Amino acid sequence: MNLKIIDMNYEKLDSILQYVEEIHYITDCEVFFKDNNIDISKFKDNKFILFEYTLGNWSHVTRLLNESNVDYSIHTDEMEMDYIII
């Protein structure tokens, strides 16, 4: 059985993604959502956002999330940059 981590907090995520310097709270990124015409309310059950342009190695980050059973989704903004919602 592959259990997903449901109660994710900053410390847990930071320990999984040790080399990621920028982990953002969704609530702190209202301007990003507004600028990209994204309805922030569709992520009301999520806490964190990771931006492709700050990650360095996208595939390494997604591998770490998968190996740690973190539930996430990938989306693309208006500038064709991906971001991960956790």
Give the domain range for residue 73: 10-85
Q: What is the DSSP letter of 61?
A: H
86 residues of the chain, pLDDT tens digit each: 344 545 789 999 999 998 888 999 999 999 999 999 999 999 999 999 999 999 888 999 999 999 999 999 999 999 999 999 99
4 domain residue, yes or no: no
Longest distance between any two alpha carbons in the chain, whole Å: 40
User: Is 3 within a domain?
Assistant: no
CA 84/CA 58 separation, integer angstroms = 10
CA 62 to chain centre: 10
Residue 2 lies in a domain: no
Can you tell me whether residue 17 is helix, strand or coil?
coil
Position 5 in a domain? no
Q: Please check whether residue 1 lies inside any domain of the structure.
A: no
- Domain count of the chain? 1
Task: Look up the pTM and report it.
Answer: 0.87
